[in-house]
Amino acid sequence: MEFPQSFRDHLLRSSGLTVFLLLWELAPRLEWIDPDFLPAFSTVMVEVCELFQEGALQIHLLVSIWRGVTGLLLALALGLPLGLVLGRYYRDLAETINPLLRVLSQVNPFTLLPVFILFFGIGETAKVAVVAWVCLWPVLFYTITASREVPLILVKTAVSMGASSEEMLLKVIVPAALPTIFVGIRIAACLTFYILVAAEMLGAGAGLGWLVHNSAMNYQIPRIYAGAAFIILLGFLLSRFLRYLERGLFPWQFEAMFQLSGEPAQLAWRPRKAASIAFACTVLVALVIGGFQVDKINRASAQGGHTGHHGHQTMAEDAPGGPAAGGHGSMHHGGTSVPSKGRGSDLDMSDMTMEEEH
């Protein structure tokens, strides 16, 4: 990913996109493609603004974000410590169970979704669990690799100064492993987003994926594109942002050989301790509150939104063009969902398995 400096470069890099958008605008207007099926770019943008005004966009966005972040944090809470321990202190064990882990990581998350739904009900738990599952593997694998490959000379230097094993862990191993771990987190985040949207189409009452799906069911075509465009843009921005963050936090990863040229080049960002703690607390509080909100929205959608699904049923019957997934009728059982897992600061896995929905 380059950051070109000159204006000409910018122009060049945006040329493809510009051409595409132009085509998107013209093709429906000039009737090259049926505008009912492919509304012009401007129409879609108007629809996005409308959604924004309605508040629908924000709500669904927040729901999706909540699910994604919660799932990711769960995966981190499990994967990071496990990965560090396996990579550093139980290497043989890690080698032995490696094939098992690899196979587990290839279990299709969408096959897990029905299992979780049958077990946890249609509430948030199932979706967050799927997200957590998907995130866990990249985080775990990258953490194991990262903690295993801390450069020997760094360890040696710290040992020679008589560092205790605690100090070694906190002051050397974790910081040294952090850049690679971050790559795992980045991959997990992008994967999450991808899969979450799909999962929301399969079994949810709210969220960006649901928005697109629901619009399709109700034949609100500009809305489909609006939702889709928004999702795509969001995913793109997320991936860009994470790479940007990576570059700022760990700049030494990206320079092969650096000679001092007078100008201070990319310094590594170091957030102040107080600020990061405050940030972390805010995030946790937001998640807890968000959990309750999302649960409310989901229930409201499940009960009040029956029209949506009724619409779907008729669709399946008279419009042969609509996706005829027989499964959708069943995604709904009883509307009561499992209370969301927004309690406590550390949402741990043991909570998940206990709740049952019958």
Partner 1 sequence: MKSLIVKRIIAVGIALSAWELLPRLGIIDPLFIPPLSQVVVTINGLLESGELPTHTLISLQRAFSGLTAAVLVGIPLGLLLGGWFPRLQQGVEPLMELFAQANPVILAHIIIFFLGIGEGAKIFIIGWLCIWPITFSTIAGIRDVEAQLVKAARSFGLGRGSLFFRIVLPAAAPAIFTGLRLSAGYAFIMLIASEMMGASSGLGWLVVQSQESYHVQRIFAGAVVITALAVITDLLLKLLERRTVIWTNTGELDICDTHEPKRVNLYQEEAP
Partner 2 sequence: MGTVADNYKDAASADAKIVVRDINWVFHLKRTRTEPARDFIALEDINLEVKKGEFLVLVGPSGCGKSTLLDILAGLAHPTSGAVYIDGKQVSGPALDRGIVLQGYALFPWRTVRQNVEFGLEIKKVPKGERKAISDRFIKLVGLDGFADRFPHELSGGMKQRVAIARALAYDPDILLMDEPFAAVDAQTRENLQDELLRIWEETKKTIVFVTHSIEEAAFLGDRVAVLTANPGTLREIVKIDLPRPRTNSDIRSSAEFGWVRHKIWELLQNHQPEVRGAIDSRPVADAISPSAEL
Binding-site ranges for partner 2 (CB under 8 A): 151, 153-154, 156-163, 167, 171-172, 175-176, 178, 250-252, 255, 258-260, 264-265, 267-268
Among 106, 259, 261, 307, binds partner 1 (CB under 8 A): 106
Q: Quick one: tokens of 70?
A: 């919660």
Chain Cα centroid distance, residue 132: 10
The yes or no reply on residue 15 touching partner 1 (CB under 8 A) is yes
Residue number with CB closer to partner 1 (232 or 285): 232
Q: How far is 174 from 169, CA to CA, in rounded Å?
A: 6
The yes or no reply on residue 290 touching partner 1 (CB under 8 A) is no
| Span interacting with partner 1, options 177-185, 252-260, 321-329, 343-351, rule CB under 8 A | 321-329
The yes or no reply on residue 167 touching partner 1 (CB under 8 A) is no
Q: How far is the CB of 270 from partner 2 (least distance, A)?
A: 9
- The count of residues interacting with partner 1 (CB under 8 A) is 74
Whose tokens are 């889709």? That residue is 228
Helix axes 56-88, 174-202, angle to 10 degrees: 140
Residue number with CB closer to partner 1 (120 or 182): 120
Nearest partner of 144 among 96, 111, 106, judged by Cα = 96
Letters for 294-313 (x = contact with partner 1 by CB under 8 A, - = none) are --------------------
The yes or no reply on residue 178 touching partner 1 (CB under 8 A) is no
Q: Which residues contact 139 (CB under 8 A, 6 or more apart)?
A: 75, 76, 79, 80, 83, 181, 184, 185, 188
Residue number with CB closer to partner 2 (106 or 259): 259
The yes or no reply on residue 257 touching partner 1 (CB under 8 A) is no
Q: How far is the CB of 155 from partner 2 (least distance, A)?
A: 9
Q: How far is the CB of 11 from partner 2 (least distance, A)?
A: 32
Q: How far is 325 from 201, CA to CA, in rounded Å?
A: 12
> Any idea what DSSP says for residue 116?
H
Q: What are phi and psi of 96, to 5 degrees?
A: -65, -45
Q: How far is the CB of 168 from partner 2 (least distance, A)?
A: 10
Among 5, 6, 7, 37, binds partner 1 (CB under 8 A): 37
Q: How far is 109 from 106, CA to CA, in rounded Å?
A: 8
Whether residue 205 contacts residue 301, with contact meaning beta carbons closer than 8 Å, is answered with yes
DSSP element (H, E) containing 231? helix 221-249
Among 42, 58, 96, 336, binds partner 1 (CB under 8 A): 96
Residue number with CB closer to partner 2 (179 or 235): 179
